[in-house]
């Protein structure tokens, strides 16, 4: 019975989300799309700064703080490898700290 109740709430929730998305005006949808694109550009810029070996440590940490604000609290990044089938998950902050410490040549 509990499973049926949970399933019912899930289905009703999906219906309300779908109805909400359909109620968006074209202007509102365009504004949301524009904001999302801006966030993606910000993230791309932050990753470039964090991954740049010329960036001072204090500046990289400041940028990590800003990049972390783009994600919901508790978000994780999955990291995979060509040589292993498993995916390792890290908190957003830990992911960016590991990116900052990568040792590679251009």
**Containing structural domain, residue 17:** 2-101
CB 95 within 8 A of CB 79: yes
pLDDT at 83: 94
Q: Which has the higher per-residue pLDDT, 11 or 31?
A: 31
Q: Is residue 64 part of a domain?
A: yes
> What SS3 class is residue 88?
strand
pLDDT at 56: 94
Burial class (CB in 10 A: 0-12, 13-18, 19+), 48: exposed
| Confidence bin at 24 (pLDDT 50/70/90) | confident
Q: Is residue 71 part of a domain?
A: yes
Q: Is residue 106 part of a domain?
A: no
Q: Is residue 48 part of a domain?
A: yes
Give the integer Cα–Cα distance in Å for 85 and 61: 31
- 34-83: pLDDT as tens digits: 999 999 999 999 999 999 999 999 999 999 999 999 999 999 999 999 99
Task: Give the count of domains, the chain.
Answer: 1
Q: Is residue 72 part of a domain?
A: yes
pLDDT at 4: 41
Q: Is residue 34 part of a domain?
A: yes
**Is the pLDDT reported for residue 19 higher than 60?**
no
């Amino acid at each position: 019975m509990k499973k049926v109740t949970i399933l019912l709430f899930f289905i009703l929730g999906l219906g309300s989300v779908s109805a909400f998305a359909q109620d968006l005006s074209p202007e509102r949808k365009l504004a949301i799309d524009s904001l999302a694109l801006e966030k993606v550009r910000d993230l791309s810029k932050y990753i470039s700064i964090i991954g740049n070996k010329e960036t001072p440590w204090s500046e990289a940490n400041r940028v990590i703080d800003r990049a972390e604000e783009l994600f919901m609290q508790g978000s994780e990044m999955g990291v995979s490898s060509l040589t292993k089938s498993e995916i390792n998950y890290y908190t957003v902050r830990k992911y960016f700290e590991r990116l900052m410490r990568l040792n590679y040549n251009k």
